[in-house]
């Protein structure tokens, strides 16, 4: 956030001009919403569309309270999945097994294990951010929805990272890294198939035919390359940031953890997201047009096989063991 202030890329202009907005922006662990030069007040949002978007869980005090209670209950059910993970005892809770001998190795067979392990992490983080948002709502402040049902309703890797998982960190990286890179490298506008180009691309191709079409295609490819490059650097920045968090939270003298796994994970996620952007630009295909269960399953099948790269430093640092000690565990026996 200090970097954002220095760059002038804060989410609302009032943060730089109003002391109250400035303090709320810096002191809040989540992101406060600002409208018309002042903090926005929470509002209610209900319905199936709001449920899929995730907006229902972070707007009103009642909805937030219900969301927190539901997630606490689900956390007690899913946390036992981490028992064999923390102790690394294969087969203690089938089908959840220990990590491969080489934790940096990405295996497609770990899809189910990683997807199951993601739930306690998601519920814990989402419950914490919902609790902070509830406190803010009690004081009449509206917060950005941090998690928008990322494990159930994603339509693609880009949708998962850009619209559903940890919108606070996403907003920080987008404003302080991704957008400045686009503005510096340009052109940032990619003409889609069947649409008129705009911005720099439009200036290069307007009023031209024949050779001008080649200019349009060339600038379209250049814009795509710039966007992919900016996306990859943003994911790399996120990986370095998470490496720093693990290094400070789990010092080497106390907990030995494998350095580089977080960066490896985010670079792989950046590759998948960039590949989707390229395919969408070249073919015009929109994954959101496909049925929801199919897109959600396909997205999770692409993203979760590498999730153990993200979890492993937390396991080695003792975070999973601490989580198991903190959360009451409930097992249903049939």
pLDDT in tens, the chain (334 residues): 777 887 778 888 888 888 888 888 888 888 888 888 788 877 654 444 444 444 444 467 888 888 899 999 998 888 887 776 666 544 333 344 455 444 444 454 567 778 888 898 899 999 999 999 898 888 888 888 899 999 989 999 999 999 999 999 998 899 888 888 888 876 544 444 444 444 433 333 334 444 444 444 445 777 888 888 999 999 999 999 999 888 888 766 555 667 888 899 999 999 999 999 888 888 888 887 888 889 998 999 888 888 888 888 888 788 888 888 887 766 555 4
β-partners of residue 35 are: 38
| Structure confidence at residue 98 (pLDDT) | 52
Question: What is the DSSP track for 195-253?
Answer: S---HHHHHHHTT--THHHHHHHHHHHHHHHHHHHHHHHHHHHHHHHHHHHHHHHS-TT
Query: Is 266 inside a domain boundary?
Result: yes
Query: Is 284 inside a domain boundary?
Result: yes
**pTM for this model (two decimals):** 0.79
Query: Is 72 inside a domain boundary?
Result: no
Phi-psi region at 260: left, alpha or beta (left = phi > 0; alpha = psi -120 to 50): left
| Structure confidence at residue 156 (pLDDT) | 92
| Structure confidence at residue 311 (pLDDT) | 84
Phi, psi of 315 (to 5 degrees): -65, -45
Which run of H or of E encompasses 101? Answer: none
Q: Cα(116)–Cα(103) distance, rounded to whole angstroms?
A: 17
Query: Is 64 inside a domain boundary?
Result: no
Phi, psi of 156 (to 5 degrees): -170, 165
| Structure confidence at residue 43 (pLDDT) | 64
| Structure confidence at residue 327 (pLDDT) | 78
Query: Is 126 inside a domain boundary?
Result: no
Query: Into how many domains does the chain fold?
Result: 1
Query: Is 29 inside a domain boundary?
Result: no
Domain span holding position 297: 148-188+220-318
| Structure confidence at residue 161 (pLDDT) | 94
Query: Is 259 inside a domain boundary?
Result: yes
Q: Please report, in angstroms and rounded to a whole number, the separation of the first and last CA atoms in the chain.
A: 50
| Structure confidence at residue 254 (pLDDT) | 56
Query: Is 160 inside a domain boundary?
Result: yes
Q: Cα(182)–Cα(186) distance, rounded to whole angstroms?
A: 5
| Structure confidence at residue 131 (pLDDT) | 92
| Structure confidence at residue 165 (pLDDT) | 93
Q: What's the burial of 63, exposed, middle or buried (CB within 10 Å: 0-12/13-18/19+)?
A: buried
Phi, psi of 34 (to 5 degrees): -120, 135
| Structure confidence at residue 95 (pLDDT) | 41
């Amino acid at each position: 956030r200090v970097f954002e202030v220095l760059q002038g890329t804060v989410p609302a202009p009032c943060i730089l001009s109003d002391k109250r907005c400035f303090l709320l922006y810096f002191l809040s662990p989540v992101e406060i919403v600002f409208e018309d030069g002042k903090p926005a007040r929470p509002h209610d949002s209900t319905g199936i569309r709001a449920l899929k978007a995730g907006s229902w869980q972070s707007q009103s005090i009642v909805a937030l309270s219900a969301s927190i209670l539901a997630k606490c209950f689900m956390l007690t059910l899913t946390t036992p999945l981490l028992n064999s993970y923390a102790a690394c005892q294969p087969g203690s809770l089938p089908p959840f097994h220990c990590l491969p001998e080489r934790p940096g190795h990405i295996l497609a067979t770990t899809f189910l294990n990683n997807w199951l392990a993601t739930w306690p992490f998601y519920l814990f983080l989402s419950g914490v951010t919902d609790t902070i948002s509830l406190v803010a709502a009690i004081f009449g402040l509206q917060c950005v929805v941090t998690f928008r049902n990322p494990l159930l309703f994603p339509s693609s890797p880009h949708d998962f990272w850009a619209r559903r998982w940890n919108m606070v960190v996403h907003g920080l990286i987008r404003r302080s890294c991704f957008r400045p890179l686009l503005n510096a490298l340009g052109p940032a506008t990619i003409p889609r198939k069947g649409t008129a180009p705009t911005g720099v691309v439009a200036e290069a191709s307007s009023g031209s035919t024949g050779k001008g079409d080649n200019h349009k295609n060339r600038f379209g490819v250049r814009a795509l390359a710039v966007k992919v490059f900016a996306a990859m650097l943003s994911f790399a920045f996120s990986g370095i940031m998470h490496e720093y968090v693990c290094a400070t939270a789990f010092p080497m003298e106390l907990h030995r953890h494998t350095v580089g796994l977080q960066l490896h994970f985010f670079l792989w996620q950046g590759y998948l997201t960039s590949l989707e952007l390229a395919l969408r630009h070249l073919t015009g295909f929109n994954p959101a047009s496909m049925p929801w269960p199919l897109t959600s399953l396909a997205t999770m099948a692409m993203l979760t096989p590498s999730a153990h790269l993200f979890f492993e430093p937390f396991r080695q640092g003792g975070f999973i063991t601490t989580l198991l000690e903190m959360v009451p565990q409930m097992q249903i026996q049939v």
